[in-house]
A and B are shown apart, each in its own frame.
Chain A
């Protein structure tokens, strides 16, 4: 089955700096790669996603890149703010929402210092 590895487990940056979180996946059939932000005790919130037919996607300060050949994808947050502090999870799925279960990475605790 699918296995998703996420690094680093913790990341501390200064406000205004960039943060990068990386994930690798094992199932070459995976074709959907979302990123979630989770605050303590809350549900995961989708912040950006990318499908396998796209190499890069950007939404304001957040961007995701995908390298299908190497089976890895990364989250980039620019101009970080204290409110970006949270746990971030990558995930991978091989199908549509009807059939494709999401497998999550281990999570990255991001701390943005003011």
Chain B
């Protein structure tokens, strides 16, 4: 089946620094990838839709200059949290759908970000 690899699984960074999270589709092409954020004991909140070769579409309330998304190829999307603050500490998870298939979303393993 479709596999999505997400790295790193855990990262601790200092306030003010930037962190890049990678999401790769290993055995399929993903025109579209989705980035979610999940705070403890809460649901997955969609942050943005990442489109290969074009600008990402951000959900209301998500700062596009703070959460930079790049989807340069059909197998890789990256999320960069810029100028991180402790309130950005969260579980970030990506999801991708296979280009040739309708429906069916595969999730990455998630990244636990802690900003100190």
Chain A residues close to B by CB (< 8 Å): 1, 32, 34, 41-44, 46, 49, 51, 89, 93, 96-107
CB contacts (< 8 Å) of B107 on chain A: these are: 43-44
B106 CB, nearest partner CB in chain A, Å:
9
Q: Is the CB of A43 within 8 A of B109?
A: yes
Contact of B102 among A34, A97, A101, A105 (CB under 8 A): A97
CB contacts (< 8 Å) of A97 on chain B: these are: 32, 96-98, 101-105
How long is the Cα–Cα vector from A8 to B35 in the complex, in angstroms?
A: 26
CB contacts (< 8 Å) of B43 on chain A: these are: 89, 104-107
Chain B residues close to A by CB (< 8 Å): 31-32, 34, 36, 42-46, 49, 60, 91, 93, 95-99, 101-105, 107-110, 112
Q: Is the CB of B105 within 8 A of A102?
A: yes
CB contacts (< 8 Å) of B112 on chain A: these are: 41
Nearest residue (CB) in A for B60 is A1
CB contacts (< 8 Å) of B103 on chain A: these are: 32, 49, 51, 93, 96-97, 100
How long is the Cα–Cα vector from A43 to B109 in the complex, in angstroms?
A: 5
How long is the Cα–Cα vector from A96 to B104 in the complex, in angstroms?
A: 8
